[in-house]
Structure 1
Amino acid sequence: MKIGVFTDSYRPYVSGVVRSIETFSRELRRLGHEIYLFAPHYPQTKGEKEVNVFRFPSFHTPFNPEFYIALPFPRRVVRYASGLGLDVIHVHSPFMLGQAGARLARSLDLPLVFTYHTLYDQYLHYAPLAGKLAKRGIIAYARNFCNRCDLVITPTGVIREMLFGYGVQKPVVAIPTGIYPERFRDGDPDFLNKNFGVPPDKRVLLFVGRIGKEKNLAFLMRAFALVSRQVDDAVLVLVGSGPEEAALRRMAYTLGVGDRVVFTGRLPPEVVAGAYAGAYLFAFPSVTETQGLVLVEAMAAGLPVVAQAAFGSLAMVQDGVTGYLCRGGEEEFAAKVLELLDDSDLHRRMAEAAAQWAWKLSAEKMALRLEKAYLALVHGDHDRLLQMGEEW
């Protein structure tokens, strides 16, 4: 098949959406399919020779200078896409390039697939004047876009059910983004010590992700302060960058744990395995994830997880088996962390179960599932799509 992929973010921008697109594209190519990407232009990509990647003029946003918004002029979209012989159009956003892809699918009478990557209403804090009306509006917008599509992909069954609750009436199939588990089994356990001075005798509570409000990291900082009162050898390491870093640094010192919290900044994907390898458990307070790809990575590295019970975490973490899902406040979160710190046998059992679970979410297996959905859609097998929707 020839698949046209439209996305409002792509490399060199770093995000879970970009990771997902790159992973599925790589695996689909291995299965013999052709992928044509339509994405924003970034200053760093000027002059690069990219195969089957079509870039559009773009401008950076005021709330995030690293994020660029494309200007997909309709004639340019048609000019790029004409003659490609596309079989499916798959969009990864309901906005600029997603809308362009949807219009192209309609004009060419092609099946339209949309992956619902993001809980858009949970990011309205980046729009200072947004309120409840804006939240209802963005949910209605997302629902209407989903209902224009022939198939909606969600990273988890939890998000699938949420969309049905919003009023989405089209087939929805859960297909998580897969990982390469073997990449997270061979990290350097001394990485954090050698690069960030974390003493080797400390037990690391690790977070990996954007340092933004939507990740609920103030909650994690307060929970860690409670943990630190009970154990002397715990250190919190935050891997990532974002607008909340300065405020969180101040908060750490206010809570009296400033000397036990390490901010690494953003790390290249190829070295993040070292951070996982040097950790004792993975702490994930976010309540806005549709999947939480880092949860799967952490489990692949053999880390038990303590996470807030919301959306993606509910699907990725087996409560009491691969980690703990918390439904209360900082006290409960801290208590579950302390259970794992205090009971080495419990930690070992959960670590082993986590590693086994992660292998079920390999990139190859998830790409095969996406291929199956594409084929059912192209062949008009509506019953097969409905069956797939119930499988996850």
Structure 2
Amino acid sequence: MRIVHVSDCYPPRTGGIESQVGDLAARQAAAGNEVHVFTATLGEHGERGGAVALERGVHVHRMGARMPFDLPVNLRDGRLFRQAFAQVRPDVVHVHAGVVSPFAHDGVRAATAAGLPTVVTWHCMLDGTVPALRLLSRTSRFEVGAVALSAVSTAAADRVREAFDGPVHVMPNGIDLDAWAPHEVGLPARSTHGDEDPGPLRLVATMRLAPRKRAVPLVSLVGDAVRRLPPDRVRLSLIGAGPVRPRVERAIADRGLQEVVELRGRLTRDEVHAAYAHADVFLAPAELEAFGIAALEARTAGLAVVARRGTGIAEFVEDGVDGLLVADDAEMTEAVVHLVRDRRLLDGIRAHNRAEPPRFGWPQVLAAANREYSRARALRGL
């Protein structure tokens, strides 16, 4: 099959959508498909304007323009899309959309105008944008009835369904379950039996330090837990980089948490996996988490996950089984305190997570993608 992925963002940019699209495309290419990616992200050396390179077995078309702040935008998308679709002649076009994805939306219009089977997967929560998207679907050339609509989780799909009239399926993200399996598989969590002190509860969070991920509120809620506990009962390792790091550093200093919170910066996947071997609980404070790849990786590595209820993380975290789901920051603080005081609960959750991998491995995700491609082709009578 000849597959074209359309995404505003793609490596060398880092982030959830970029990593997911890159891994999906590479897996499909390894399975014998001819895979192309059309992206507005410039190459590592500034490649743009339609330059094509083979990366991980994938033909990557750099269709962006040089813009301030390296924004993934190209004002000539229409012409480049028409030329590229005519040259590649794909069997299916898979568009990856976020809340603000001008390149992806142009790709949808160009693909449907060319009569190509098209899948659109939303990687975001559309809270606050549903009315605008309903207007877009009614007033633009966005042919909803000719597009297979999907989202990365049930929670995200519910919002897409509100915005567009038509069925919306779940097209989940995936990870390499073997690569993220717990280190030292089979060993129990730290003993909490008898009078032995299990030491501080080891918290970890992996995120881009951006407002939407809520790193500053995370520091605050951990600080609230620290105030309610005896000294030296909590440690937080915060992995990631981004524009709000100075605000995070100020929040740590203002709350006197220098001995509690460690800022690790950006780490490689292998380094993150190694860090999880020394952690107990993964905290996910984001309110608009469409899926939660970092949380899934931590869950696969055997950590208990504490996350917001109503997000995509509920796809793989059952409350009281894989972790704890909470309504707000106050409840997340309460969950941290509870896990410090009830290490048997923590041990039970961690033992379950180490023994039972989640279901989002790449074979399942590739099969889900193929079902969406078949649905898109059927909508075109193919």
- Of 100, 103, 113 in structure 2, the residue corresponding to residue 107 of structure 1 is 113
Q: In the alignment, is residue 52 of structure 1 matched against residue 52 of structure 2?
A: no
Name the counterpart of 1:284: 284
Letter in 2 for 1:115: T
Q: In the alignment, is residue 177 of structure 1 matched against residue 173 of structure 2?
A: yes
- Of 146, 149, 152 in structure 2, the residue corresponding to residue 152 of structure 1 is 149
Q: In the alignment, is residue 243 of structure 1 matched against residue 243 of structure 2?
A: yes
On the 8 A contact 1:226/1:334 being kept in 2, the answer is yes
3-state DSSP of counterpart to 1:207: strand
Q: In the alignment, is residue 42 of structure 1 matched against residue 46 of structure 2?
A: no
Letter in 1 for 2:344: D
Q: Which runs of 5+ in 1 are unaligned?
A: 123-134, 190-199, 383-392
Q: Which runs of 5+ in 2 are unaligned?
A: 186-197
Shift of 1:102: 1.9
3-state DSSP of counterpart to 2:338: helix
Shift of 1:181: 1.7
Name the counterpart of 1:362: 361
Name the counterpart of 2:203: 205
CA change 1:20–1:43 in 2 (3 A) is closer
Shift of 1:225: 1.0
- Residue correspondence of structure 1 range 48-197 to structure 2 within 5 A: 49-50=53-54, 51-61=58-68, 65=69, 67-93=71-97, 95-119=101-125, 135=129, 138-140=132-134, 145=142, 147=144, 150-166=147-163, 168-185=164-181
Aligned length: 355
Answer 1 or 2: which has greater helix percent.
1
CA change 1:146–1:204 in 2 (3 A) is farther
On the 8 A contact 1:114/1:149 being kept in 2, the answer is no
3-state DSSP of counterpart to 2:44: helix
Shift of 1:19: 1.6
Distance 1:219 1:357 in 2: 31
Name the counterpart of 1:347: 346
Name the counterpart of 1:23: 23
Q: In the alignment, is residue 337 of structure 1 matched against residue 309 of structure 2?
A: no
- Of 220, 225, 228 in structure 2, the residue corresponding to residue 227 of structure 1 is 225
Distance 2:207 2:32 in 1: 32
- Residue correspondence of structure 1 range 314-329 to structure 2 within 5 A: 314-329=314-329
Q: Identity percentage over the alignment? A: 23
Shift of 1:68: 2.9
TM-score norm. by structure 2 comes to 0.84
RMSD over aligned CA atoms reads: 2.7
Distance 1:142 1:90 in 2: 20
3-state DSSP of counterpart to 1:367: helix
CA change 1:148–1:242 in 2 (3 A) is farther
3-state DSSP of counterpart to 2:264: strand
Shift of 1:121: 5.4
Shift of 1:328: 3.6
Shift of 1:218: 2.6
Distance 1:372 1:151 in 2: 10
Name the counterpart of 1:128: none
Name the counterpart of 2:11: 11
Distance 1:141 1:3 in 2: 30
Name the counterpart of 2:188: none
Distance 1:216 1:368 in 2: 34
CA change 1:358–1:202 in 2 (3 A) is same
Letter in 1 for 2:219: M
CA change 1:283–1:357 in 2 (3 A) is same
Name the counterpart of 1:390: none
